[in-house]
Amino acid sequence: MAEGNRYWRLDSYPDGQDFASAIHLYDGPLPEIDERELLVKNLWFSLDAGTRMWFTSRTDSYMPPLPLGSPIMGFVLGRVVQSRHPGFAEGAVVRAYGQWADYSRLAPDAGNLWQVAHIADMRQHFAILGPNGWTAYVGLNEYGRVRPGETVLVSAAAGATGLLAAQFALATGCRVIGIAGGETKCARLIKEFGLTASIDYKRGDVDGQLKQAAPDGIDCYFDCVGGTLLDIVLPHMAMNGRIAICGLISTYDQKERVGPKNFDLILMKRLTVAGFFSPDFYHRGEEINRLTGPWLENGRVKMAFDVTQGLENTLVAYAKMFTGGNFGKTMVKLTE
């Protein structure tokens, strides 16, 4: 086993997307574990846009800010190389909140740590069979309350959660429109993933594109973006429509918050708007996987993976989610 441990540390809160000036890679000793702890060799990082809120001083977010000087946290998939916990044997593979590092020191009793089965594509433990899949399923069914035949609009449809929400809605029998950036992404959504239509926000005139794609209105809007895009969508909602908000990627790095000007349409159209946070239902993961797993097995739902090689390139991969450079699930593969 290597004696050292490289790790990323938050030294200041990033200004916009300038992550390289705020987050730096350090060399440290191999972590020592206490009783009921694990040392895990990280194999994969799951990069998730919502963690951007941890890199701010904002205290009223869904999670407190990461203290300056702390190692960066995030979902990891790794192999247990040392165990002082009776519930986990060395060699087991776990998914957990760990550190952006070669090794993660983990405390299973603190929660949010799962031993996972060996499957053909282990990356799916982050995607269809993991937090992105759980978010998409719960958002659509319990907050969006989608029904067959309805029109569903998904923003950031080329991102991990949006791509799954779009496919889950298709599997439910809905007409699905995806919003993404760029002609290539929009074409892939239709040709590879079966969406009914796509809207290219980079082309401009999103309002006009929505009129054409959803002339009878949108019954459910699965929103990963927020900001001005939500404002544009509101007039296109159908009466008694539902808006399920799981992310606000357009505003995570904005110092000033602005509400939608079309807010009054929530009343006029009798809309239901709900925000939801995936850790609230992590405990339901196995239950949800029993419902979505068959779609993975029969190929009805799939995931595109955007993989970057090497711990040292983590920030390059992370920035892709905020510049539109990714398609599907953004991950980092570490050298074994």
248, two tokens? 């606000």
Rounded Cα distance between 185 and 179, Å, is 9
| H/E segment holding residue 191 | helix 183-191
Q: Mapping DSSP to helix (H, G, I), strand (E, B) and coil, where does residue 150 land?
A: coil
**What number is the average pLDDT over the span 26-50?**
96
Rounded Cα distance between 51 and 318, Å, is 10
Q: Which of 101, 127, 130, 100 is nearest to 113 (CA)?
A: 130
Tell me: the pLDDT tens digits for 131-158? 999 999 999 999 999 999 999 999 999 9
Tell me: the pLDDT tens digits for 296-309? 999 999 999 999 99
Rounded Cα distance between 167 and 81, Å, is 37
Provide the 10 A C-beta neighbour count for residue 99. Answer: 23
Rounded Cα distance between 87 and 171, Å, is 37
Residue 100's contacts (CB-CB under 8 Å, 6 or more residues apart) are 7, 8, 45, 71, 72, 73, 74, 311, 314
Rounded Cα distance between 105 and 94, Å, is 12
Provide the 10 A C-beta neighbour count for residue 124. Answer: 21
Name the packing angle between helices 285-297 and 131-138 (round to 10°): 90
**What number is the average pLDDT over the span 15-39?**
95
- Whether residue 49 contacts residue 322, with contact meaning beta carbons closer than 8 Å, is answered with yes
Residue 14's contacts (CB-CB under 8 Å, 6 or more residues apart) are 21, 22, 23, 55, 253
> Regarding predicted confidence, which is higher, 189 or 65?
189
Tell me: the pLDDT tens digits for 199-222? 999 999 999 999 999 999 999 999
What's the half-sphere exposure (Cβ side, CA atoms, 13 Å) at 98?
30
Rounded Cα distance between 175 and 108, Å, is 42
Rounded Cα distance between 237 and 137, Å, is 21
Tell me: the pLDDT tens digits for 79-108? 999 999 999 999 999 999 999 999 999 999
Highest mean pLDDT among 1-10, 54-63, 68-77: 68-77
Provide the 10 A C-beta neighbour count for residue 281. Answer: 17
- Whether residue 116 contacts residue 21, with contact meaning beta carbons closer than 8 Å, is answered with no
The predicted structure's pLDDT at residue 50: 86
